[in-house]
Amino acid sequence: MTDFRQIENNLKKEAKRLLEAGEVAVVLAYGRGYDEKHPMPFAAKTIADVESLVFNEYCNFNMASYLMRYPWGTKIAIAAKAADSRAIIQLVQEEKVRREDLVILGIPAYGMKNQKTNEVVDSKTTGGLYNPVIYDILLGEEIHGQKIVSPYEVLAEYEAMDKEERWAFWKSQMDKCIRCYACRKACPMCYCDPCFIDQNKPRWADKAPQSPGNMMYHLTRFHHLAGRCIDCGECSRACPVDIPLYLFHKKVAKECEEMFGQAAGMKLEDKPVLVDFRVEDSDKILE
């Protein structure tokens, strides 16, 4: 496995080359934050900017979130870890970005850390992949031989819960929500403008952070991300009150994969499962 410093150097080298050759207008990657542990997403537009690029184990943020800020036709190079690459595929499927506009700088990364807890980010909170699913240029060696753990393994404990217990769990979690909407803003798949929760007509839920409104917001958001969530875990990492949103997203993703036989963001030619159907879908899924 290539170490993070080497990846950083490769990233700088490629960014410099692409910008110099005029192949891209912007390189979306990570830049210096206020300290080593807090790198910031950064858009390098000039060769001078390239020196500010960094990559280390705290570069978790899903860069695909920034892709839609640029109009079609802007050539963009994007640093993509495993989850970021899945988000890119999903966005291409949804025709939000065009594959031909992108130069994907794939980053195989193992041992990324959550800056808040210092825990290693693994299949517990994310999809648990190490290698980008799609890339044009790989910035390090592919990682093989790591133990593959199903991202759905963590669900077993919650699925085994009694429904009353599970309701109590989710209610206590949702009651914490302060409705800062960091989850939807950190999510690369949440791009609706306006979001259903900001609508006044119809007004789906209260604006106040109280139980019914919180429940409505989160349940509907889980639904909107069904078959689209690429399990990057950014919603939960962004959450200031640590609601384990990833659990619910994982569950919905798991059900979608079981029912429709397709995981989100794995192949460019797929269609998102809920804007697709098969005549031979079984009515059993409704039971």
Interactions with other proteins, residue window 94-153 (CB under 8 A): 115
Query: Closest approach of Cβ 143 to other proteins, in Å?
Result: 26
| 81 touching other proteins, by CB under 8 A | no
Query: Of the candidates 252, 257, 262, 270, which one interacts with other proteins according to CB under 8 A?
Result: 252
Q: DSSP character for 103?
A: E
Query: Of the candidates 164, 201, 261, 269, which one interacts with other proteins according to CB under 8 A?
Result: 164
Which of these segments, 32-40, 88-96, 101-109, 262-270, binds other proteins (CB under 8 A)?
Answer: 32-40
Query: Of the candidates 94, 196, 262, 270, which one interacts with other proteins according to CB under 8 A?
Result: 196
Query: Closest approach of Cβ 217 to other proteins, in Å?
Result: 10
Query: Closest approach of Cβ 213 to other proteins, in Å?
Result: 9
Q: Which residue is listed with tokens 């699925």? A: 159
Query: Of the candidates 146, 209, 257, 270, which one interacts with other proteins according to CB under 8 A?
Result: 209
Long-range contacts formed by 272-280: CB under 8 A, 24+ apart? 272/90, 272/93, 272/94, 272/227, 272/228, 273/226, 273/227, 274/226, 274/227, 274/228
Mapping DSSP to helix (H, G, I), strand (E, B) and coil, where does residue 56 land? Answer: coil
Give the contacts of 220 (CB within 8 A, at least 6 positions apart): 196, 197, 204
Query: Of the candidates 16, 75, 113, 251, which one interacts with other proteins according to CB under 8 A?
Result: 251
| 68 touching other proteins, by CB under 8 A | no
Q: For residues 186 and 238, is the Cβ–Cβ distance under 8 A? A: yes
The CA distances from residue 106 to 77, 80, 85, 167, 196, in Å, are 10, 5, 8, 40, 33
